[in-house]
Amino acid sequence: MSLGEEAFSYRTKARYGKMPEKNCLDRVNEILDAWGRFWDLSQFDKYGWKPRWSTYALSDVVIRVDKRKEYYAFFHDMKIKERKYAGLVAYWIVKFHPFSVDVRNPSELTPYQDWLIGTLNERFAAYLLYSAVLGENSRSGEDAVPLTTKDKGSYYEALLYALRYRCVTIDSMMLLVETMTPDDFDRRVSKK
């Protein structure tokens, strides 16, 4: 280990202590509340699907978000606000895929339903990003979040594609949510 790595490791360990379990569970419950709103708005129940999640993976999401917040506070003297917080949570949701569904008969899924299930975590991450942006403008804006569009040229579909197949870094996710506006939700992506 080089001197720089040792100093970084020492300062990080000295600064970051283990998050109390109650705080961690409270944050997991906040994510699960958002998940419940997402699930209800998505109307996936009409397919007979049952939501599932990994509490262990969600705890890991919360801890990693908290560590990143501490990192920015310690090394950059920067406080993470609501949008960037949503970007951090969305990043780790996409990374760890804590959500899934129980399907009664997987062989009966249509290609569209299979695609919905395959992009479930990315859809929830996009929901968190949109909710953070819309939440700054109107608390009643959650029903304006596009959740199951088949519109191939939409900004939302481009975002889902990027979250699913592209290498989106943690810092670029935070920058993305900072630059999003409510007008983006209706915007079409030009193909050049």
Query: How confident is the model over 24-76, as pLDDT tens digits?
Result: 999 999 999 999 999 998 888 889 899 999 999 999 999 999 999 888 888 88
Per-residue confidence at 185, pLDDT binned at 50, 70, 90? low
Place of tokens 């949570």: 89
The packing angle between helices 82-96 and 55-76, to 10°, is: 140
What is the value of pTM for the model shown? 0.81
Higher local confidence (pLDDT), 14 or 32: 32
Q: What is the pLDDT of residue 187?
A: 57
Per-residue confidence at 160, pLDDT binned at 50, 70, 90? confident
Per-residue confidence at 151, pLDDT binned at 50, 70, 90? low
Q: What is the pLDDT of residue 74?
A: 82
Whole-angstrom CA distances from 171 to 26, 52, 65, 69, 178 are 25, 28, 12, 12, 11
Tell me the two tokens of residue 145. Answer: 């979040």
How many whole angstroms separate alpha carbon 114 and alpha carbon 112?
5
Place of tokens 């939409």: 154
Q: What is the pLDDT of residue 192?
A: 45
State the chain's mean pLDDT as an integer: 81
How many whole angstroms separate alpha carbon 131 and alpha carbon 139?
9
Cα-flanking dihedrals φ and ψ of residue 4, to 5°? Answer: -65, -45
Q: What is the pLDDT of residue 1?
A: 42
